Structure 1
Amino acid sequence: MTDAVLARETNRRQLQHIISGLSDGVILVEVDQTIIWANEAALLMHGVNEVSELGADGGAYRERFSLRYRNNHPLDPDQYPISRVAAGEEFSDVLVEVSRVGDEEDRSRVHRVRSMVLSDSSGEPESLVLIMADATEWASAEQRFEKTFNANPAPAVICRLSDLRFIKVNQGFLEMTGHSRENVIGRSVYEVDVLENAERKDLAIERLNAGATIPQMQAELKMPEGGTKLVIVAGQPLDMNEEDCMLFSFIDLEARRKAETALRQSEERFAKTFKLTPVPIMVCTADRQQIVDANEAFLSTLGFTTLEMIGKTVAEMDFLDKGKDAVQLFDILEKSGHIEGVDFKVRKKSGEIMHCVLAADTVTIQDAACYLFVFMDITERKRSELELVEAIETVMKDASWFSQTLIEKLANAKRVNGQNLPTASFTDLTARERDVLGLICEGLADKEIASRLNLALNTIRNHVATVYSKLDVHSRAEAIVWARERHLFASQGTKKR
């Protein structure tokens, strides 16, 4: 053995001794691709115990181990790290998945490989070295990130900070924008501008260039087919494959914007309808009955101004005649949520009484429950009806002259929809008053009732007046209808003449 060969072997043994305990895997290769040595870490990374199990040379190694890039493409024979280093090529950070031939589905081993070519004093390659790090855990974490990133419904893209080009895009972003994957990957943030019309765009660009966190802000993304979409965008710096990157994530606000636009348009239509409707309308809160709005028809009809009404309670304004009935109105609204067609009296600012048909319903205004009241002025109609009834009653003082049908029609003309509010009970009457009411329903006049009950005429007239007062009626016809509505004295016939 020559001195040169001995020196070389000595150097190799010293090199092997130095590197045998390293955590990185090391394989020594001859120029002819003969594998001459590997440390324990390199054997472990290949799942073998002896150097011979790696194969005698590069060809045997390729027969035993299948190498693929991370994009799932298999390496050609001349692309294997052992072939490249034997060709004198120095490289770094070659990432490959390593599996046994025949068991290519097992890609649990991932190596990050680099090469070294050690030359002798004459500059000729003397030792070829493959240095590999176990990147399996890193690759597993990256794979989990890939799956999470792609499966995440929240739209997201990732760009490299070195050239600001997109390297990843998930399905959520493609669905939100309508872009294709090919239209995003490889393009810059200026071509697919994710900070389009951002409310703090200067700050976002400053943070992007500095590789710092970009706070949440509203922006409008341009769609490939035209138009824009309102989003919230934020940026988070991260490291991918040892490259500084920026993860942009988005929240789609377009649905909310459409809902807000529809709500605003609905509110505008309601406001216009409310203001322009010629029928008096008033709105008050459900809890305190505080007036929050009234249309022009309401104000002009009752003679109040906006300043006089808004903020005051219904009780303070005292425009609903008969306070007790007003309390009943709100009790009914609280229980049923609405009132339809109630005959009611409203007091104007001047003190004049206006007859109305009142309807009310529950509405929500700015998340607060309110009552909306609609008043239909029937004062003239009421006056005409009462005048008609009074004219007939003046001519025909005795109810016995009327058929039952006519009596009911007359009473109904005076009590339009009055049955919607609670009235007096039959039990409020005394026994004698019930007798009198029963004889009225038979169609008897006061003299006939006095004769039937063997009482003085004035006494009967007093009983009749008391019955009218308790039942809140004003004529025999109304008293008869009141009783018939409650199915009282149903077996008693009414005289007809």
Structure 2
Amino acid sequence: MNDEPEPPRINRGSLQKLIGGLSDGIILLDKAGAIVWANDSAIVMHRANAIEELGGDATEYRRRFTLRYRNNHPLEEGQYPIERLLAGETIDDVTLEVSPSTDLDLVWVHTVRSMIISDIGDKADVLALILRDETPRFEAEERFERSFNANPAPGLICRLEDNRFIRVNGGFLEMTGFSREDVIGKTVDAVGLFSNCETGEDALLKLSERRVIRHREALVPLPNGGDRLVIVAGEPISVIEEPCMLFTFADLDARRKAQNALRQSEERFSKSFRLSPAPAAISRLDDFVFVEANDAFLQTSGYALTEVVSRTAAELKLWEDTAARRTLEQKLRDNTFVRNEPLRMKQKDGGTADCLVSAERVEINDEQCVIWALQDVTERSRSEAQLVEAIESVMADTSWFSRSIVDRLATLKQGSTAVPTASLMELSEREREILGLICVGKSDAEMAKSLHLSKNTIRNHVTSLYGKIGVNRRAAAVIWARERGFTGAPNRKAAVRPKDTKSSSSR
């Protein structure tokens, strides 16, 4: 007598009640191939309302539904999971696209496996298809795929099992010039993704450990030689249930080119500034502290570079006229250009230098600065003063020189800094007479005698003439006239004395 308890028999009703509420779809078939039961999940997965809409058996199910592999290849008769199960095959997680035969544009995705349920022993009692609806997941992956391919930001996806790239988008191909065939199936090492990266070993270690790869700069080799500067980051993801790494890139090559161009421009400016024969310096705008000065500036001022940098013109007492310096600085604060302003520089050794100062605001390294350019006109001013004195000496006694020599000496002053305030045509007849006599070297007394005027009247006319043409000395008046082609031809009538006329008449 066997005392072992008899194993419990499976109650089909209890079994159906148990699996009816599962999220996985369950379809039960008898050995003849009839669909005898399906839970609500299986019916909903087929977008149906009742079990009858699945078809009564395997043949009817195949008529009502079209199944395709994920590569869009349709399943032929005998390949449907329900038919393979009836043929005695075991089905392990086959992923298929399912559509109603009446509407092939409507697609959902099922993963199918099989199960055989027996009451006692090995004899099959119930055949079961277990369905899992993968539609939301595959729709999400399709959306990711479309987004990945359409994204202008460069991207790569490699399979972590062998570190081979399985996806590349147009952004990466456009950035590097690679073709899709150059990348797909190649390993991370073969493409050289981290071969020119200071932290490349760390990135490859994190890749092998399937960890996040933080942003880092790298030089990606290009197919035709050269490289491209990028920022690359890696994020572990799953693509069709395969562990992968998504690499994203930010192109820094434009920034690198801009930086190189800026550096070259700065080098050219630095060389030009340093080697310029014209004195120049750079100061900050906010406090006018000098930050740079070239050799010509140091030579003119007599200071060393260390004595100029980090100090202001006020601290150096660089300019003789403090009020004029402050006026120039205010103009620059108001963003007004300074052009050829006359200032006298006080040199370190106690000497002075007459300068024409120009200055303009510029931005250097994101800071507002001022470039100062000087023209040392000390020698020119001294030469002009000496020339004027020489002309005045000549004018004081023309008996020593011929008229042509006087004219030549006056013409040498073509570069005079006097600013005329009138034209020759604006002078009155009397003023033209006075100017003509000045040009031929007549003194006040001689002019008074020639024009039959008093000396005071002559002096008043001369003063008025000087004010009108913007000069303050005879030599400058001669130069003003010569520049306008006025030679001061002798007035023959004025040269004849009245008493001479009487004598002639009496005779």
Q: Smaller-chain TM-score range?
A: 0.7 to 0.9
Secondary structure, aligned partner of 1:324: helix
Alignment CA distance shift 1:408-1:440 (3 Å): farther
User: CA offsets per residue over residues 275-315 of structure 1, 9 Å max, x none?
Assistant: 22222221112222211111112212322101110011122
| TM-score calculated relative to the size of structure 1 | 0.77
Amino acid in the other structure paired with 1:380: E
Aligned counterpart, 1:301: 300
Alignment CA distance shift 1:55-1:406 (3 Å): farther
Alignment CA distance shift 1:144-1:86 (3 Å): same
In 1, the alpha carbon distance for the partners of 2:143 and 2:453 equals 100
Amino acid in the other structure paired with 1:181: R
Aligned counterpart, 1:383: 382
In 2, the alpha carbon distance for the partners of 1:249 and 1:454 equals 99
In 1, the alpha carbon distance for the partners of 2:282 and 2:97 equals 73
User: CA offsets per residue over residues 309-363 of structure 1, 9 Å max, x none?
Assistant: 0011122223334233333333444445534444543333223333344433332
Verify the 8 A CA contact 1:88 1:117 in the aligned structure 2. no
> How many residues are aligned here?
461
Amino acid in the other structure paired with 1:93: D
Secondary structure, aligned partner of 1:414: coil
Secondary structure, aligned partner of 1:43: helix
Amino acid in the other structure paired with 1:96: L
Aligned counterpart, 2:110: 111
Secondary structure, aligned partner of 1:105: coil
Aligned counterpart, 2:416: 414
Alignment CA distance shift 1:359-1:103 (3 Å): same
User: CA offsets per residue over residues 73-129 of structure 1, 9 Å max, x none?
Assistant: 44444443223333333333333332212312222x332222223467664654332
After TM superposition, list the pairs within 5 Å mapping 1:164-243 onto structure 2.
164-243=163-242
Amino acid in the other structure paired with 1:370: C
Aligned counterpart, 2:497: none
Task: Give the C-alpha shift of residue 494 in structure 1.
Answer: 12
User: CA offsets per residue over residues 242-265 of structure 1, 9 Å max, x none?
Assistant: 443322221111111111111111
Task: Give the C-alpha shift of residue 190 in structure 1.
Answer: 2.3
After TM superposition, list the pairs within 5 Å mapping 1:323-402 onto structure 2.
323-335=322-334, 337-396=336-395
User: CA offsets per residue over residues 441-470 of structure 1, 9 Å max, x none?
Assistant: 974887789x99999699979x89x989xx
Aligned counterpart, 2:267: 268
Q: Percent identity, please.
A: 43
In 2, the alpha carbon distance for the partners of 1:16 and 1:207 equals 49
In 2, the alpha carbon distance for the partners of 1:248 and 1:331 equals 55
In 2, the alpha carbon distance for the partners of 1:18 and 1:334 equals 87
| TM-score calculated relative to the size of structure 2 | 0.76
Task: Give the C-alpha shift of residue 409 in structure 1.
Answer: 7.1
Identify unmatched segments of 5+ residues in structure 1: 1-6, 420-424, 426-437, 483-492
Verify the 8 A CA contact 1:440 1:476 in the aligned structure 2. no
**RMSD of equivalent CA atoms:** 4.3
Aligned counterpart, 2:287: 288
Q: Which residue of the other structure, out of 449, 473, 476, is the alignment partner of 1:475?
A: 473
In 2, the alpha carbon distance for the partners of 1:193 and 1:121 equals 61
In 2, the alpha carbon distance for the partners of 1:32 and 1:390 equals 134
In 2, the alpha carbon distance for the partners of 1:93 and 1:19 equals 19
Verify the 8 A CA contact 1:221 1:230 in the aligned structure 2. yes
Secondary structure, aligned partner of 2:163: coil
Verify the 8 A CA contact 1:218 1:232 in the aligned structure 2. yes
Secondary structure, aligned partner of 2:89: coil
Verify the 8 A CA contact 2:392 2:475 in the aligned structure 1. no
Verify the 8 A CA contact 2:391 2:410 in the aligned structure 1. no
In 2, the alpha carbon distance for the partners of 1:27 and 1:173 equals 47
Aligned counterpart, 2:498: none
Task: Give the C-alpha shift of residue 10 in structure 1.
Answer: 6.9
Identify unmatched segments of 5+ residues in structure 2: 1-6, 398-402, 422-429, 481-485, 491-507
Alignment CA distance shift 1:322-1:167 (3 Å): same
User: CA offsets per residue over residues 182-225 of structure 1, 9 Å max, x none?
Assistant: 33333332223432333223332332222222221111212222
Task: Give the C-alpha shift of residue 24 in structure 1.
Answer: 1.3
